[in-house]
Amino acid sequence: MSIHEACGVFGAISPQRKDLARLTYYGLYALQHRGQESCGIVVDDDGLFYSHKDLGLVGDVFSKEDLDRMPASTMAVGHVRYSTTGEKVRANCQPIEVNHQKGKLALAHNGNLTNDDKLRDKLELNGAIFHTTSDTETIAYIITGERLKTGSIEDAVSQAMDVIEGAYSMVVMSAAKIMAIRDPYGFRPLCYGKTADGTYVIASESCALQAVGAEFIRDILPGEILVFSTDGSITSRREHCGTKPRQSCIFEQIYFARPDSIIDGIPIHQARVNAGRALAKAHPVEADAVIGVPDSGLNAAIGYAQESGIPYSIGMIKNKYIARTFISPSQRERDNQVHIKLNPISSIIKGKRVVLVDDSIVRGTTSRRLVTMMRDAGATEVHMRVSAPPFLHPCYYGVDIDSEDNLIAAHHSVDEICEMIGADSLGFLPIEDLKVLSPALDYCAGCFDGRYATAVSPNHRKNRFSTPLSQREKKSKK
């Protein structure tokens, strides 16, 4: 599995000044699985913003001294990033900060705009000078442009939402408020809660609320702008709610979200168990042990075992002290890291017919190594089961699912893939069974069925890594 999540966002606002930088640090720690390239925190100190951002994991970027240097405050926003637009450079670290005639803004964004190239071109032709290659800066420019014409920051955000298209769950901090914003389709998750001392907390996933002792209140609605003020008041703006069909990303349920999170009312652990059960019904096999690939295959493996009656076993140990495989810059390094990261327990596997459950197959290289690992540990048969349908298409909404060229299922039948990875049999979750992951809500399954809810500009289809007009021109001249 080598799919990259796009980001995690966090925000906190309190009636009293307190150490919100540290609270945000703990929140980002809980969201680390959503992005490991860079992270950052911005706190407000009476209209002055203090920030600390860098490339790296939360635990590496922030030392105790860094946190001690940040002032007590009533507002803070934070971000963990994996770049699906823009390059992996320090300039693209978030939250992005902008100064404008009517004040300051700090933005943290999860998702991808699908019309970023068009908007950038227009802004650049009107004189905007971009400092980053991230689509978040495009959003920042549009909001600040609207702010000069409107009476409030929330009006400016609402006007910007008329223009920007695609996936965006954001926290936006002005000098007086924090806004939690979710695009009208609701592609990416966003929720909020409250601590016992009255601090409101906003996060990509509910696991981050629990990490800071906040009680979950509810998910931000698709299209909602929820405005938090330092006097403790909250206002919900809903003019964009219900304007588009709901399109929650089903891959959050399959892989990205932490199993202890609840997203849009769906407990992720249970959703994955349900997928495992459906997988067992669709692709039964005679075997002695069901083994899940840590971490995101474990819950589906439990479901497969429950439905099939085959005993569930812990057959692989994950080294907890290295980062996820996909941090590596090259495919070769990723391949090598599979061995460092996972180790089979031979005493469990030896002489057994094994059902190996993973959450997805992208290029097939990891699956091949896992099957080989099982055989080397003494498995007599290895039956691969995948708790998602085959990836056939890219994602344009903030997940680094590659072009069709690199997706094994886009070019090979299930039987061919089975042979290529060296398994005795292979079964994917049927696409019609995706509904077990989200029984009550409509969802996006674009990477599986090729149906996208929004228009995707040809440039965005060609190159999801946004590049400023000036750089695109240079490239085309070469």
Buried b (16+ CB within 10 A) or exposed e, 310-325: bebbebbeeeeeeebb
Stretch that binds ligand SF4, among 292-300, 319-327, 360-368, 443-451 (CB under 6 A): 443-451
d(CA 213, CA 22): 13
Q: Is 399 a residue that touches ligand SF4 (CB under 6 A)? A: yes
Residues 377-396 that bind ligand SF4 (CB under 6 A): 395
As measured in angstroms, the least distance from the Cβ of 333 to ligand SF4 is 24
* C-beta separation of 263 from 219 below 8 A: yes
Stretch that binds ligand SF4, among 40-48, 277-285, 363-371, 397-405 (CB under 6 A): 397-405
List the one residue out of 222, 205, 358, 313 whose CA is nearest residue 267: 205
d(CA 295, CA 435): 22
Q: Is 35 a residue that touches ligand SF4 (CB under 6 A)? A: no
As measured in angstroms, the least distance from the Cβ of 401 to ligand SF4 is 6
447 is catalytic: no
As measured in angstroms, the least distance from the Cβ of 146 to ligand SF4 is 27
**For ligand SF4, the closer CB: 202 or 407:** 407
As measured in angstroms, the least distance from the Cβ of 404 to ligand SF4 is 13
**For ligand SF4, the closer CB: 155 or 404:** 404
**For ligand SF4, the closer CB: 342 or 444:** 444
Q: Give the orientation angle of helix 268-282 with respect to helix 298-308, to 10 degrees.
A: 50
- Exactly one of 227, 388, 401, 437 binds ligand SF4 (CB under 6 A); which one? 401
Q: Is 268 a residue that touches ligand SF4 (CB under 6 A)? A: no
**Residues 147-186 vs ligand SF4: string with x where CB under 6 A?**
----------------------------------------
Binding site for ligand SF4 (CB under 6 A): 187, 249-251, 395, 397, 399, 401, 444-447
Query: Active-site residues: which are they?
Result: 7
